[in-house]
Amino acid sequence: MARKYIARDPRTGKQIRSGRQSKATKDSIRALTPDPGPWERLLLVDIVPLASGRIAKVEVRANESKWMLGRIDAIKALHKVLESDAEQAHSALIEALDDDYPDVRIAGLKSLPSFALRRQGTLFQCLSDRLLDGEEAVREEARACLKKVAPLFPSGCEEIIRRELRDDRKEHRDNAFASLQLASRQWPEVGCLHLDELIREEEDDLRIRGSKILRTITAKGGAEAWDLISWSLQDEEVRVRRNAARTLTTLATVEPRIATVLVEASIEERDKSIRDSVIRALKKLNMQSPKVARMIIRGAGDKDVEMRKACIGQLVIILTGQELREAAVELLRAESDPDLRKRLTALSVDPDLEGTEEEKNKSLAPLDKVVVLLPELEEDLPRNPESDANDLREDDKRDSGRSPSEVSR
């Protein structure tokens, strides 16, 4: 009996525990099955005999019509068989994938993704062989099959993808990178494994295409993904560096410390696309970090005007008071852009000393409101009963210390 498929880490061989749901959902299973057709009307007891060739035809009714279904229809329905017939169905599918007729092999490839959820055995070896098939129609179906199974069975497809990535035929290479992209979304470890190999290749096309997948593994790839981004940022091919730089904004969100290091290493890049990515990432970093503050101050004097604009705009966040004014004065000496000179001039002025009258008054504390009452109006003011009682008690205290004749006077 074929063992249940277990996804394993490509490097250690240990089972991958990603925390994701292990059972395929109904929608994902439906996406793996062949297109709807009359084959869905087959009775379970007829599928294996018909797929293996023991019987030639089976009659079914569909839409008030009679259909005569044959081996190809039964092969598409193999994933539906009862568990007691699963081993026989597996053997029938293997035979179909190695059949002499291309249409039968194509039917087997259509059935492979959904049946692989139940049994694998040598199915992936058969898929590998069909990708090398002499018939283009069979190879085309095999490429479509690889895209379906790669995200579900990363270990089973590892060697297939490795070979297809380096295939000289454009359609095979394109499909392999698309399959790797899909697998990397589900299993970042798989993406890291292949990218670790691809960025060491001498062929530029492999490194360029591989670097496009870096964004897929940035958030969940961990330290290994960060190393791959760092190495790619140092690649001699500018398109590789551009693709790596596009990960910095995401990295600034998920791992700002690493992003700070990589942004600092790339801040001197002359390529406009890379610098734009660096600027976007720089704006997302923690401005309270001393390292980030130093980068902004250094970037405010950069040769590139866009970099200067971005960094000068952040000065008010990292500097205040006299430090901000001194930095603005220093930058103003070398600045030639009119808009930036205007901004720096505004930052270099101390409003308490050199500002307008209104600006100077902003820093002054407001005076307390004072109400001056005329003596003739005091009697008309409403009296507070509590204060009147207090006044009477004060009068009694004073009277108690005087003689009756003094009081009467």
Please give the DSSP secondary-structure letter assigned to residue 67: E
Above 70 in pLDDT, residue 368? no
* pLDDT in the model for residue 371: 58
Percent of the chain at pLDDT > 70 equals: 78
* pLDDT in the model for residue 23: 41
pLDDT in tens, 264-274: 999 989 899 99
Q: Is the distance from CB of 123 to CB of 115 less than 8 angstroms?
A: yes
* pLDDT in the model for residue 149: 96
**pLDDT mean over 181-210:** 96
pTM: predicted TM-score of the whole model, two decimal places: 0.76
* pLDDT in the model for residue 206: 97
* pLDDT in the model for residue 391: 56
Burial class (CB in 10 A: 0-12, 13-18, 19+), 13: exposed
* pLDDT in the model for residue 374: 56
pLDDT in tens, 40-52: 989 999 999 999 9
* pLDDT in the model for residue 3: 42
Q: Is the distance from CB of 337 to CB of 348 less than 8 angstroms?
A: no
**pLDDT mean over 343-372:** 64
Read off the pLDDT band of 360 (50, 70, 90).
low
The crossing angle, in degrees rounded to 10, of helices 272-284 and 290-299 is: 140
Read off the pLDDT band of 352 (50, 70, 90).
low
* pLDDT in the model for residue 65: 81
Mean pLDDT for all residues in the chain: 84
**pLDDT mean over 86-102:** 95
The crossing angle, in degrees rounded to 10, of helices 158-165 and 123-130 is: 10
Query: Cβ neighbours of residue 154 under 8 Å, at least 6 residues apart?
Result: 7, 10, 16, 183, 186, 187, 189, 190
Token pair in block for residue 398:
């004073």
Above 80 in pLDDT, residue 320? yes
In sequence order, what are the beta bridge partners of 58? 69
Token pair in block for residue 234:
């140092």
Between residues 48 and 358, the one the model is more confident about: 48
Fold of 1-15+22-146: 1.25.40
* pLDDT in the model for residue 134: 94
Q: Is the distance from CB of 187 to CB of 16 less than 8 angstroms?
A: yes
Q: What are residue 210's phi and psi, to 5 degrees?
A: -65, -40
Range among 28-32, 117-121, 169-173, 317-321 with highest mean pLDDT value: 169-173
End-to-end CA distance of the chain: 125
**pLDDT mean over 189-209:** 96
Read off the pLDDT band of 203 (50, 70, 90).
very high
Query: Cβ neighbours of residue 340 under 8 Å, at least 6 residues apart?
Result: 305, 308, 309, 312
* pLDDT in the model for residue 10: 46
Between residues 387 and 286, the one the model is more confident about: 286
Above 90 in pLDDT, residue 198? yes
* pLDDT in the model for residue 20: 43
In sequence order, what are the beta bridge partners of 66? 61
* pLDDT in the model for residue 370: 59
**pLDDT mean over 264-286:** 92
Above 70 in pLDDT, residue 385? no
Above 70 in pLDDT, residue 396? no
DSSP for 176-235 reads HHHHHHHHHHH-HHHHHHHHHHHTT-S-HHHHHHHHTTHHHHTTTSHHHHHHHHHHHTT-
Residue type, 374: L
* pLDDT in the model for residue 64: 75
Above 50 in pLDDT, residue 407? no
Above 80 in pLDDT, residue 28? no
Read off the pLDDT band of 19 (50, 70, 90).
very low
Above 90 in pLDDT, residue 13? no
For residue 275, give the nearest of 248, 256, 250, 253 by alpha carbon.
Answer: 248
357-389 burial string, b = 16+ CB within 10 Å, else e? eeeeeeeeeeeeeeeeeeeeeeeeeeeeeeeee
Q: Is residue 395 left, alpha or beta, with left meaning phi > 0 and alpha meaning psi from -120 to 50?
A: alpha
Q: Which of 5-14, 189-198, 323-332 has the lowest mean pLDDT?
A: 5-14
Q: Which of 134-148, 246-260, 352-366 has the lowest mean pLDDT?
A: 352-366
Token pair in block for residue 145:
């099959």
Q: Is the distance from CB of 251 to CB of 226 less than 8 angstroms?
A: yes
Above 70 in pLDDT, residue 386? no
Q: Which of 4-13, 115-124, 344-353, 369-378 has the lowest mean pLDDT?
A: 4-13
Residue type, 108: G
